[in-house]
Structures are given as C-alpha cells and as structure tokens.
C-alpha cells in the first residue's frame, strides 16, 4: 500500500504551511478522505505516527480524519445523490449513466498550530 | 490558531499528469495504462496487441515493475522500444516516473504508448498518469468475484479485458456474474474476453483500441 508515500506528502505540505505561518508547533492535522480512494485510514494513521517523529514541529501532533461519502450526478435526469462504493445507479430514474463528483479525493483541510504573537515575542526579546 | 490548507494530497501527481496529457495530445499520441494483478497476463496481452497493431501504428512501451527488466526485454525482443521503470518497492506508477520515461521517447513519431503498471489491483487506481484510458485485465483463474472485491480499479477503467478465457473449463468462473458486477460499477466499459497467448478475442480488443487511437490522431 502507498499510505506512507501519501502521508509523506501530507507531512511535507503541513510543515511547509506551518513554517510559512511562523508556527512553532503543530497540534492537529485535519484530513478529508474520500471513501472511493484506496487509502485506508488505519494505515494513514500508522504512517503519520512514524513520520511525526521525524520533525520536531509535529511532536505529539494528532491526526483527525473525516470520511467523505461518495456523491454522483445523474446524466439522464440531473439528480445528485449519495451512495456507497458499489451502487452508483440513479435512485431517481434508475439510469447507470452517472458521474462521481465527490469521494475520490484526499485533502489536507487545515492544521491547528501554535503561532507566537509577533508583538509579544518582540517584547520578550527586549526583556 | 487554525491554518487552512485545503490542498489535495494528489495535487502534485495530478498537475504532472495534466502536463503529460497536454504533451501527449499535442503529439497526437494515445496512451493506455494497463492495470492487473501479477500474473494476469499484462505482458502477454501487450505483446498480442503489438502484434496486431504494429503495422498501422508506431508503438512504445513503458514497463513498471518493482524490480528487474524481464518485461522490457520481452517487448524489445518484439522490436518495440521499451523503457523500464523500477519502482524499487512502490506499488504503483506515478506521473513523475512517466515524465522521466517519456523524456527518452520520441513522442513526435509515436502513435501509441502502452504503460504496463505494477501488478496490483488497488494502488494504481488513485494515480492519474496522463493516460487516455486505463484498461483493467482480469484473468479467469483469479475468479469472477474480483470486481466486488476491488471495485475502484474497475470503476476508473475505460475498458475491461477478461484474459485466459481458454482456461475457463478448468475454473469455476461465472462469466455472467462477472459481467453483471462490472456493469454495475462501470456501465460504459466494454468487456473483451480474450486469450492473449491463443489469440482468441484479441481482434475485438485491438479493433476497439485502434478506433480510440485513430480518434486521437484525427483531432
């Protein structure tokens, strides 16, 4: 499985974003995982725990994963509908001509990080 | 404080894949990504495809394997340029690997690039390689229930090949159940029952592929 590779990309993007914002610690990482991707949450969590130790910025950070259920649109009648992995037939008109519009992506939504207040740190430095 | 990122993990792969798709389209090259389990007959199907189409089209093959160049050697022996990518353990090909492989090919004179993905029914599903079509090969001995167990790869494929149909008498393979499962997941994908080594059904598959290639050349 490729969860370690995916998580390496997540950790790199998270650390870049955190450093750009001047963060000194990341507490939380929030991901959305489409149920139609082949990425397994347990394996992502394991990969995160392994990679977390390699950057002090992420020490003790927690991973939060939100599952995104698949949604499709029917090309015959225009109906939008949620479904499971296996059944993409339109519940309205029974057409098989449907197109997936959500559920195949894996997104880094946001992080919760400690960003020192600039003014406060300036005062601290003087003192 | 909360910092919003809103970035797809597949963003980098998808961006490179889009660049590849543009290059392929500018050069009127059709690219097919062949996915299957190890041993389903990817290389044999590719060799049969080359045999049927090499008079009309200039073909090259990109071989993805965890290790070795056995497959590339088989393709080169058929007189076709082949680039071997060793993923060194990775379970699928990514667009960055294809970019490097394509750099050594002469896109201007090619009509068809066949990419043989790493043998795996799971991981290649999520990775766009800039291809025109993914094609999944399932072989009879693997069983008719595989679309139910590995739905992703059957959903993202534009065509389905059922290989080794000449072994059907030896296995309890329910072709109707297989067809029904594929149709539920992917109603638009044609299904081609073939025997890559015995030649059965290969013509129907290669005729379909030739039609797709000609369409790209006419644009």
Average pLDDT over residues A12-32: 95
CB contact under 8 A, A6 and B2: no
- Nearest-neighbour CA in chain A from B171: distance (Å): 26
Question: Tell me, what's the pLDDT at A1?
Answer: 61
% residues pLDDT > 90 (chain A): 69
Residues 6+ apart with CB under 8 A from A47: A3, A4, A6, A7, A8
pLDDT of residue B15: 94
**Better-predicted residue by pLDDT, A91 or A117:** A91
On the question of pLDDT at A119 being above 50, the answer is no
Whether the Cβ atoms of residue B35 and residue B124 lie closer than 8 Å to each other = yes
The answer to which of A16-25, A41-50, A110-119 has the lowest mean pLDDT is A110-119
The H or E element that residue B61 is part of is: strand B59-65
Residue B183: count other Cβ atoms within 10 Å of its Cβ: 16
Task: From chain B, pick out residues whose CB is under 8 angstroms from the CB of A38.
Answer: 122-123, 125-126, 152
Question: Where are the alpha helices (H) located in B90-150, listed in sequence order?
Answer: 95-102, 146-149
Judged against a pLDDT cut of 70, whether residue A118 lies above it is answered with: no
Distance, in Å, from the CA atom of A119 to the CA atom of B109, rounded to the nearest integer, reads: 62
* Number of residues assigned to chain B: 219
Confidence tier at A126 by pLDDT (50, 70, 90): low
pLDDT band at B115 (very low <50, low <70, confident <90, very high): very high
- Say yes or no to pLDDT of A121 above 80: no
For the segment B34-59, the average pLDDT, to the nearest whole number, is 96
Percent of chain B with pLDDT over 90: 84
pLDDT of A123 strictly over 70: no
Is the CB of A17 less than 8 angstroms away from the CB of B151? no
pLDDT above 80: residue A65: yes
CB distance B3–A23 less than 8 Å?
Answer: yes
Q: What is the mean pLDDT of residues A25-36?
A: 95
Does the structure show a pLDDT above 60 at A32? yes
Above pLDDT 70, what percent of chain A? 91
* pLDDT of B137 strictly over 60: yes
pLDDT tops 70 at residue B213: yes
Q: Alpha-carbon distance B132 to B44, whole Å? A: 21
Residue A29 in this model has a pLDDT that exceeds 60: yes
Q: Does B175 have pLDDT greater than 70?
A: yes
**Is B11 contained in some domain?**
no
ipTM of this model?
A: 0.81
The pLDDT tens digits for B55-96 are 999 999 999 988 888 888 999 898 999 999 988 878 899 999
Cβ atoms A116, A125 nearer than 8 A: no
What does the mean pLDDT of chain B come to? 94
> Quick one: pLDDT at residue A7?
93
Strands B133-139 and B159-163: what pairing? parallel
CB contact under 8 A, A107 and B8: yes
Token pair recorded at residue B97? 């690997």
**B188–A97 C-beta distance less than 8 A:** yes
Chain pair A-B, CB pairs under 8 angstroms: 85
pLDDT grade, residue B203 (50/70/90)? very high
With beta carbons less than 8 A apart as the criterion, state whether A102 and A34 touch.
yes
| Angstroms from B91 CA to nearest CA on chain A | 6
d(CA B100, CA A76): 41
Using CA of residue A10, residue A12, residue A16, residue A18, what is the dihedral sign? positive
- Residue-range domains of chain A with CATH: 3-69+103-126 (3.30.2320.50)
User: What residues does A121 pair with on adjacent strands?
Assistant: none
- Spatial neighbors of B189 by CB under 8 A, at least 6 apart, are B154, B157, B158, B159, B160, B182
The CATH number assigned to the domain holding B105 equals 3.40.50.300
Who has greater pLDDT, B6 or A117?
B6
Domain interval for residue B76:
22-218
Residue B127 is predicted with a pLDDT of: 92
Q: How would you classify the pairing of strands B82-86 and B112-116?
A: unpaired
Give the chain A residue whose CA is nearest to the CA of B153. Answer: A38
Number of domains comprising chain B: 1
């Amino acid at each position: 499985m490729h969860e370690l590779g995916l998580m390496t990309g997540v950790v790199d993007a998270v650390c870049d974003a955190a450093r750009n914002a001047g963060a000194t610690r990341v507490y939380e990482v929030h991901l959305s995982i489409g149920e139609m991707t082949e990425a397994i949450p347990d394996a992502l969590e394991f990969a995160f725990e392994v990679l977390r130790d390699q950057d002090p910025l992420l020490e003790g950070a927690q991973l939060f994963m939100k599952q995104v259920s698949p949604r499709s649109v029917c090309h015959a009648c225009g109906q939008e509908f949620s479904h499971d992995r296996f059944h993409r037939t339109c519940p309205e008109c029974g057409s098989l001509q449907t197109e997936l519009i959500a559920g195949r992506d894996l997104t880094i939504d946001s992080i919760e990080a400690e960003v020192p207040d600039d003014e406060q740190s300036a005062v601290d430095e003087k003192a | 404080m909360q910092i919003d990122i809103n970035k797809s993990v597949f963003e980098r792969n998808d961006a490179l894949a889009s660049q590849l798709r543009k290059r392929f389209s500018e050069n009127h090259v059709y690219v097919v990504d062949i996915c299957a389990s190890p041993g389903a007959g990817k290389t044999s199907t590719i060799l049969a495809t080359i045999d049927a189409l090499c008079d009309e089209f200039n073909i090259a093959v990109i071989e993805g394997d965890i290790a070795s160049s056995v497959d590339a050697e088989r393709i080169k022996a058929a007189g076709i340029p082949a680039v071997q990518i060793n993923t060194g353990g990775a379970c699928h090909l990514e667009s960055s690997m294809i970019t490097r492989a394509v750099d050594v090919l002469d896109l201007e004179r090619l009509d068809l690039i066949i990419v043989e993905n790493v043998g795996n029914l799971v991981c290649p599903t999520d990775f766009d390689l800039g291809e025109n079509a993914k094609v999944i090969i399932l072989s009879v001995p693997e069983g008719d229930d595989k679309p139910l167990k590995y739905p992703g790869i059957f959903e993202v494929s534009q065509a389905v090949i059922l290989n080794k149909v000449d072994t059907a008498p030896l296995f309890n393979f329910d072709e109707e159940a297989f067809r029904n499962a594929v149709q539920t997941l992917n109603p638009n994908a044609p299904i081609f029952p073939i025997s890559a080594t015995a030649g059965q059904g290969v013509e129907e598959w290669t005729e379909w592929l030739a039609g797709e290639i000609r369409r790209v050349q006419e644009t």
